[in-house]
Amino acid sequence: MTLGIMLLAVDVGNTQTVVGVYQGAVLEASWRLPTMREDTPDDIAARLHSLMGMEGIDAARIGRGVLSSVVPQAKAAWVAAVQKIAGVEVLICTARSAGHLFETDYPAPDEIGADRVADAVACKARYGYPSIVVDFGTATNMEVIDRAGRFIGGIIAPGLQTSASTLFDHGAQLSSVDLAAPPHAIGRNTAEALASGILIGEAARVDGLLRRVFEELGYEAKVVATGGLASQIAHLSNEIDEVDPDLTLEGLRLISEAQGRS
């Protein structure tokens, strides 16, 4: 691994937290962890030290930190943990801190989730525009970038696992199944029927929403999927063009880099 100042990027989601360490534009290591709302800064710092140690990354080389979080009670703990292990200030991702990288005519930019901002920044940089991000997480988010390169809004829907958990919790005769795509839409047993409804159903819902977005825009756009469940859904979709699992981290890196130049 090359020497030099490194960036620690953290995306705290409702269910999972994704952590990445960058050397320049290269993602040297990344981890996907369960989001633990009750973790203290010491808990998080110990976990980070262990993870980085296994990859041979010296915390002293971390020269910058950037964070997006949709979990308010976890944000302060993560900021304190990064400061504890690396002694650096942490840039908080928002529509405002993204600066010129995030152009929007959204009427209330401060209410846009940090992960949505990072996704839109990275998608525009990597894939151009018009483009749409579909982020499969606790919620299924869509971020729409028009042909002028502006974020104009999007869609927030219950995520695949959220919908599945609700179904299992309220269906007395239903039990959870592995989220693996069935061989056909018509289930030949309960497990296949559930898998079809959950996975193929999610892909059909996403495709239907995307077609409505295309209709409202008056043109089609490149569709990029990200998030922990993207690879399980994308191959079932007729509208998703690319899968980019590191899109949110890349957006955070770009925002941090732009701030460093300003």
Q: What mean pLDDT value characterizes the chain? A: 90
**How distant, in Å, are the alpha carbons of 8, 18, 132, 233 from that of 211?**
37, 30, 12, 17
> Does the pLDDT at position 230 exceed 60?
yes
What is the pLDDT, as a whole number, of residue 178?
65
> Per-residue pLDDT averaged across 66-89, rounded?
93
What is the pLDDT, as a whole number, of residue 3?
56
Highest mean pLDDT among 1-10, 52-61, 160-169, 182-191: 52-61
Residue-wise DSSP of 92-151: EP-TTTTGGGS-B--S-GGGS-HHHHHHHHHHHHHH-SSEEEEEESSEEEEEEE-TTS-E
What is the pLDDT, as a whole number, of residue 45?
95
What is the pLDDT, as a whole number, of residue 239?
97
**How distant, in Å, are the alpha carbons of 91, 113, 221 from that of 215?**
37, 25, 11
Q: Helix, strand, or coil here: 61?
A: helix
Amino acid letter for position 96: R
115 included as an active-site residue? yes
Q: 115, 119, 135, 146: which one is catalytic?
A: 115
Q: How confident is the model at residue 229 (pLDDT cuts 50, 70, 90)?
A: confident
What is the pLDDT, as a whole number, of residue 5?
86
Closest listed residue to residue 116, CA positions, set 237, 226, 244: 226
Q: How confident is the model at residue 173 (pLDDT cuts 50, 70, 90)?
A: very low
> Does the pLDDT at position 30 exceed 50?
yes
What is the rounded CA–CA span in Å between residue 218 and residue 199?
29
Task: Say if CB 98 and CB 91 are below 8 A apart.
Answer: no
Helix (H) or strand (E) holding 159: none
pLDDT over 70, % of the chain: 91
For the CA atoms of the chain, what is the radius of gyration?
Answer: 19
Among 109-113, 125-129, 169-173, 185-189, name the one with the lowest average pLDDT.
Answer: 169-173
pLDDT over 90, % of the chain: 73
> Per-residue pLDDT averaged across 220-242, rounded?
94
